[in-house]
A and B are shown apart, each in its own frame.
Chain A
Amino acid sequence: MLLEVKNLRTEFKLKRGTVRAVDDISFSIDKGEILAIVGESGSGKSVTSLSIMGLLQNPGRIVGGEILFNSQNLLKMSQKELQKIRGNKISMIFQEPMTSLNPVWRIKDQIMENIMTHMKISKKDALARTIEMLDTVGIPSPAERAYDYPHQMSGGMRQRVMTAMALSCEPELLIADEPTTALDVTIQAQILELLYRMREKFHMAVLLITHDLGVVSEAADRVIVMYCGKIVEEADVKSLFAQPLHPYTVGLMRSIPQIDDDSDQRLYMIKGMVPNPLHMPPGCPFSDRCDSCLERCTKDMPELQEIDGHKVRCFLYDKASEGELSTK
């Protein structure tokens, strides 16, 4: 296993109370695998990625669990040791290409900085490598564009630059936090294609964080669905799309518009809203929005259980509750 996250819990201590942004989640990524984490805003997926990178800002704090990278616990490392891993073995692409590059430095300086932080090579070689990386991610005339400032590039180009920067030290794990969200659809496809190609080229694992099931179906090998800081479902991409188990996942799938759907029916939507993280309902956090809510759903929290390699956190699949399918 390349990365193993065990019982990770991350909290935000606010004046009004404590928010459990990531609540006891465990997952792992194999070498060369693309794992997608799906969830809506506030489900804890970005916080998970920042926890892995060690980039949580106040008031966010990791309060429990382990993050093992090549069997080393990242949470036990000093900032110095983490700095050696960040940008080198684990790197990250962010959601906002427009603002994620420093406006006052040239593209090449920003990429070279990453290279020269982690590799003992001369400035000249670092520049050559920078231009080579820009070429790899598909930037035309990279030797000239390297001298551009970020504001001289479009959003898609900037995301390519971010990707080139993240890949410049050939990381073993790339965390892509909504890399396509701020881009329009054609550029989205290009960036996904790029990630896919880079995975092949550098044999790296990718943790793809997104709220877009379309992106997931195109890119991922395995999928984790998060809701309110918890994993509610985990499966390989084929079985998830063929047979989603958790009512939340089912709801998400049903609310994707189908292009060949000619019926006059309104598009399905999940009723209600994400609960206030400061006032979580007792029991399953999805219980008050669920179409197939059981009585015990509002009292107890279901455990994540495995059914033929497909994990789901729902009482509907609990053997003990069979025969009690009385919907509210």
Chain B
Amino acid sequence: MLKYIIKRILMLIPVLIGVSIIVFLIMRVFSPDPAPIVLGQHATQISVEAWRQANGLNDPIFLQYFHFISGALTGDLGTSFYTKMPVIKEIFSRFPATIELAMVSIILASLFGILIGVVSAVKKNSIFDNAGMLLALVGVSMPIFWLGILLIIFFSGTLHWLPSSGRINPLLQPGHVTGFYLVDSLIAGDMDAFIDALRHLVLPACALAMYSMAIITRMTRSSMLETLQQDYIRTARAKGISEGKVIGKHALRNGLIPIVTVIGLQLGSLLGGAVLTETVFSWPGIGAYTVACILKSDFPVVQGVVLLIAFVFVLVNLIVDVIYAFLDPRIKYSKKEG
């Protein structure tokens, strides 16, 4: 198992090299020249040329890539063209917000998705099943930004229950330890801050969870329907154990494997930043920020973020594969198969 994990982590290297080449080339081929954007439209030709020279954009493209990758290997992803801050700092001031939102969303989505999916499968063709599938259909079809706006109008505008934007009331902001406000406020022992951070999370997390939940619900239902037809479920029933145990212990454990895959994929994409949700809820995460940087041709930031997202995505999938082996004893990552 350990060997397999090490092997998979080593496989990250070619993936990251590939991703870095692609994003590097795409930015340079398709993005507009950053110099006039940085310097403003009234910049003179001379100052533009000087800026390009200073930022290494006049070097041959191979050399530029070499500079980038050799920096990246030492943990230096360059500095943003605009803020003049190291890219690493820029990313890590925003990434915790994205992780926090993604984690809460995926937990919500998994809990409700699996619950609704299991009940729908067990009570197939009942009113509950139809309602659950309708909800799932709505979830996959409704654009997130529209759902987000509806939530804001209703819970924030009409009912005044929840805040509509930001991560926390700035006055309550806890000291920076992990960057996750929920964790930081608990570390500081500040319950008011914790509750405020939680209240800020509810709406964006619900809006973001809706789509993932719909996917997980449908996957759970179909996986459970298949599992419930298996012979070993009949054996379990023949033992005289309660129906709850038949479903929870025997069916769900087997049905969980495809569900875990879907949850992993969903989490991977949520961690990449939810651009629309972050924009609608003014959530200071990585998604909306990256889009802004792409539009501004901020090459170092975009390259850094994409590398990070690729890394996280591969890592999440590795974790999913490791979970597989725990869920299903037939899966062995032995030397031959690994």
A interface with B by C-beta (< 8 Å):
53, 55, 79, 82-88, 91-92, 94, 96, 99-106, 113-114, 117-118, 149, 151, 162, 165
Considering the complex, give the chain A residue whose CB is closest to the CB of B256. A104
**A85 adjacent to B250 (CB under 8 Å):** no
Considering the complex, give the chain A residue whose CB is closest to the CB of B235. A100
Pick the contact of B230 from A99, A105, A114, A162 — CB < 8 Å?
Answer: A99
Contact residues in A for B327 (Cβ distance below 8 Å) = 104
- Give Cα A117–Cα B253 distance, bound, in whole angstroms: 19
Contact residues in A for B237 (Cβ distance below 8 Å) = 55, 86
**A103 adjacent to B242 (CB under 8 Å):** no
B328 CB-CB contact with A under 8 Å:
yes
- Give Cα A86–Cα B242 distance, bound, in whole angstroms: 11
**B250 adjacent to A165 (CB under 8 Å):** no
CB distance from B242 to the nearest CB of A (A): 6
**B329 adjacent to A149 (CB under 8 Å):** yes
Given A55-B238, A86-B238, verify A151-B329 contact (CB < 8 Å).
Answer: yes
**B330 adjacent to A103 (CB under 8 Å):** yes
Number of chain B residues whose Cβ lies closer than 8 Å to a Cβ of chain A:
20
| Other A-B pairs beyond A87-B241, A102-B254, A104-B253, 13, CB < 8 Å | A55-B237, A83-B240, A83-B242, A94-B238, A99-B230, A102-B232, A102-B235, A103-B330, A114-B239, A117-B239, A149-B329, A151-B330, A165-B235
**A104 adjacent to B254 (CB under 8 Å):** yes
CB distance from B251 to the nearest CB of A (A): 9
- Give Cα A195–Cα B176 distance, bound, in whole angstroms: 70
- Give Cα A87–Cα B234 distance, bound, in whole angstroms: 12
**B238 adjacent to A87 (CB under 8 Å):** yes
CB distance from B127 to the nearest CB of A (A): 16
Pick the contact of B329 from A55, A79, A94, A103 — CB < 8 Å?
Answer: A103
Contact residues in A for B230 (Cβ distance below 8 Å) = 99
Considering the complex, give the chain B residue whose CB is closest to the CB of A98. B231
**A84 adjacent to B240 (CB under 8 Å):** yes
Pick the contact of A86 from B239, B328, B329 — CB < 8 Å?
Answer: B239
CB distance from A243 to the nearest CB of B (A): 37
B192 CB-CB contact with A under 8 Å:
no
Give 22 CB contacts A-B under 8 Å.
Answer: A55-B234, A79-B243, A86-B238, A86-B239, A86-B240, A87-B239, A87-B241, A91-B239, A92-B238, A94-B231, A96-B231, A100-B231, A101-B232, A103-B232, A103-B329, A104-B253, A104-B328, A105-B250, A114-B241, A117-B240, A151-B329, A151-B330
Contact residues in A for B328 (Cβ distance below 8 Å) = 103-104
